[in-house]
Structure 1
């Protein structure tokens, strides 16, 4: 594997800042030393940027430090873009800003106002052109910083409205916002979860030149150490093509540590990375968030990505693209047909569908785990978090899949930060109750890990030439292009009734009913876009109804989808056709490959 050109770009001794005539703009995520602060890109599509997060589980994290280069000395007005993430009446995310070792006269993150905005830090004296800028977390409870602006323009107030802010940010970033070429590829795979890894490896082993674009520093998605969800679904039970499909999934699989294991190494980040690094035909781009597409003649010509730390923008040109983002981001940006929410019974004919279409979705989880220590420990009161009582609290030392938020009242893409934050308020509030009110049981326990990266289940589903439905799963429908054998139940979550009673409209616990189905085959036609001619998809955003999605969404099954996509992209290139052309004209050859037969036959 050739490591992406981004690998060396972050070896900087000062933050990348863009200077206009009277402004010096510093993106927080570009700090030279981030200390204990985490780079969070989950809201990039809403905010237009990543940001730094002080995620210390109640313990202040190490300082983020950088050197800012000023064009002139003198007096500047300093502005900080941040938010009070839990204003009840004010939240816990307080932090201080230091300039050359001197703190500003006010702190930030506890305004009592909801939403991201610029806050006035007052006048500061810049005595020399290189000055140290420092962010000091004061609580460990998820304070956050988007950007810092120094301005000499009298009376200037930086914009808060998104369109104006986007334009301002682009201007301030200057050359960093101008796309550099990241190369031209046979297949550009966006999303480095299990499905994306499998698509990239499968295509690369067929000789394709592949770019794998992942917006986190690790591979694996929900199965990474950042989220810690175990792999489910079987690759062996009644697999239609056992000679080929599932082999790459097996290479990725690091065993089954369960959900939310305290030891993040059990999820095999290094194993996954080495596997991809071993493929000479893959160029890997970690920390790269895809945020735009460029179209030509109804096809995707390139994907635009921005490094979530350096903020340099890149152009990934290609012949074929695979959306393995989970959110259907690339398809959405390209204008692909998609659905989100539940279809009505009249639309799909499914007995399990609701009478009316709605926006109900499976939610997002942030897992956590505590362990028993040799000494007692304390945890602060959390008036800004959800409040628990003896009548209702969660008596557990760790989380499992049931900790889930965002069914109907929040949008899994537009409100992803709020969903994550609501999960954090539930986790911290419940843990504070256990530590302070149930100390006899939990006195020696301490939080070891709380995920700040959300484990998503459902959002957009891109529409292909076939939309898999409940009847396909239950009626043993035989498809000529049936390829990926799926074994998971129809597993659709909903708010836990008791949780709804005590937190109506603010549920964070879920329940499910498993509707068992016999193994069935997912058609290849569910793995490419109906109206974007060079777009494949694999993972939870493939072409299904909401009901069928309840079964197809588990990661081993998604990984096999990726394996199929890699082979399909090889055939498309071989025959100079598109994904639909592979189905219509080369299906028999496709099947022979899946059977492990010689291509000469």
Structure 2
């Protein structure tokens, strides 16, 4: 499809059609792996002989998201909630990527600031983690898989395709017109057509097959003036890890390593290869690569299984860990968790100086803050080296620009996660899953706006970045140093804002554009007790149909699921007690107060209430109960016609 023809289509046509017809060349390409003409099938149920099963399917969507980890889930949910018909393609039987039950890596985010305080991500990723706190109090990783499944399939505009890999991009000129996919469980070739593709798969096979520019390895110091880069560029990529867990059986449990175990060289191991909480897995059982880490995956998987059992043999049989006598392996991973492979090139390559210098980007759409945590070349195969080097920690969060989230040379391709446009050193921080999730929500929202405004991602960033940023802020994303200033928000136009009581902050701060306390500044209102209310007054009637509230979930404390079920100043393994549970929204209409909506089982920080339009002169938000605190705190209130 010619670019000019794409731009001539109206946004409604794009949403309805999904994609213009493929070129004849592209169509001819799609008739290979689903071909079953050789089948000689005698179907006893129908009595028909020589049947051929139908194993080829073509589907049209507005947005195609490849990869069902944290980034892909957030991208798909963001696009779908805006109204785009979205497909989420995941090559495993479960969602969650490295955080799934198949790998069980903690879904970390910004929780390693020098201050020691978490400054947690909000938006869709927080919503996912809160959903888990309600539905998975037992903190089971297999149940977490099902929580994520529920989180995705409950969205009416998402079609989920599990056990499906996007193996090839079908091109029309310089754009991706379709993705050829293979679904393992159904033996189906599925051709997915869409005007916009988002690759959140980590390795980025679809993007690579489209011809999107990418690089692997470590940049040398000179290219981006990076302090922590090697003197000269090389091919090293951080290793993949294989985890395990052990169970106390209450009696001695002997262990004999399997035939493929690789002996752990404890004598030459670096002193920082520690065994703290080893019963929950050892993250430094990892293997990297200085060449093609994707092609070497199965070789490295076999090695990792050997190294894992070698380490466990050392724990059980060296005599140095007598407390392990009653422990037995309870779960052993078979799918390594990868940290690094392809990094695709966008209009901007995010680098070390952008992080450590807290560079301010006019097109910022997400943030990070995990320390620059570079795992050493070779992993456990360079056992004499420290397993990781935290080159830097951060006093505050840094920005991630939109220009790093779309392809430089494939116009309709976006990406989110560890495969974005960044250097190896920048990746050492931004690869953390909750950070990747923020990028996912940003590109999912961007994809919808591209459809709505009939533009490609580059043009969206150049011409409509304010619209994208305002949409993200409204949906409870946080962009450092970028307050919201939506001109359509009627709450900002209130002539008076006051509250029934105030313990801290000020009710007027609910419209200051900042939805969290940040940089040692207060941006909230907190009541003295409950019940309480906050009220907005207008001199002239305002037509209002939507009220949006951002309540307190304590972003200074993490709510991710950990194998150790940690519960302290930084981590919480329950529903945040600060979060609002029950409230009502009332309006003064023609001098009389009426209840417009009520919520009795709130489960998210962003509370959005919609009702038929009403001409009101006042809104009153009455707060009655939290999940444990005797006072309520709000960070933002918005109102829309």
Using structure 1 for the length normalisation, give the TM-score. Answer: 0.64
In the alignment, does 2:128 pair up with 1:246? no
The answer for the alignment partner of 1:431 in structure 2 is 312
Any idea what the Cα deviations from partners look like across 1:156-185, whole Å, max 9, x if unmatched? xxxxxxxxxxxxxxxxxx97896421x111
- Pairing of 1:367-386 with structure 2 (within 5 A): 367-386=243-262
In the alignment, does 2:62 pair up with 1:180? no
Distance verdict in 2 for CA 1:246–1:236, change over 3 Å: farther
Distance verdict in 2 for CA 1:297–1:17, change over 3 Å: closer
CA–CA distance in 1 between the matches of 2:52 and 2:253? 49
The answer for the alignment partner of 1:485 in structure 2 is 367
- Pairing of 1:190-589 with structure 2 (within 5 A): 190-234=66-110, 246-253=122-129, 264-265=140-141, 268-388=144-264, 391=267, 396-408=278-290, 411-438=292-319, 441-494=323-376, 510-517=387-394, 518-589=396-467
CA–CA distance in 2 between the matches of 1:418 and 1:460? 18
CA–CA distance in 2 between the matches of 1:235 and 1:197? 21
CA–CA distance in 1 between the matches of 2:437 and 2:392? 22
Structure 1 gaps, min length 5 = 1-15, 25-68, 72-128, 130-173, 238-243
Does the Cα contact within 8 Å between 2:289 and 2:378 map onto a contact in 1?
no
Aligned partner of residue 436 in structure 2, secondary structure = helix
The answer for the alignment partner of 2:65 in structure 1 is 189
CA–CA distance in 1 between the matches of 2:328 and 2:131? 26
Aligned partner of residue 595 in structure 1, secondary structure = helix
Aligned partner of residue 263 in structure 2, secondary structure = coil
Any idea what the Cα deviations from partners look like across 1:174-212, whole Å, max 9, x if unmatched? 97896421x111100000000000000000010000000
1:230 to partner: Cα distance: 1.0
Distance verdict in 2 for CA 1:544–1:443, change over 3 Å: same
Distance verdict in 2 for CA 1:546–1:496, change over 3 Å: closer
CA–CA distance in 2 between the matches of 1:493 and 1:539? 18
1:511 to partner: Cα distance: 2.3
1:229 to partner: Cα distance: 0.9
Higher mean alpha-carbon deviation, 471-480 vs 262-271, is at: 262-271
CA–CA distance in 1 between the matches of 2:351 and 2:124? 27
1:454 to partner: Cα distance: 1.3
Distance verdict in 2 for CA 1:599–1:310, change over 3 Å: farther
Distance verdict in 2 for CA 1:180–1:18, change over 3 Å: closer
Any idea what the Cα deviations from partners look like across 1:91-128, whole Å, max 9, x if unmatched? xxxxxxxxxxxxxxxxxxxxxxxxxxxxxxxxxxxxxx
Distance verdict in 2 for CA 1:255–1:547, change over 3 Å: farther
CA–CA distance in 2 between the matches of 1:177 and 1:422? 40
Does the Cα contact within 8 Å between 1:254 and 1:267 map onto a contact in 2?
no
1:17 to partner: Cα distance: 13
Using structure 2 for the length normalisation, give the TM-score. Answer: 0.60
What is the Cα-based RMSD across aligned positions, in Å? 3.5
Does the Cα contact within 8 Å between 1:487 and 1:519 map onto a contact in 2?
yes
CA–CA distance in 1 between the matches of 2:156 and 2:202? 26
CA–CA distance in 2 between the matches of 1:390 and 1:245? 39
Distance verdict in 2 for CA 1:255–1:398, change over 3 Å: farther
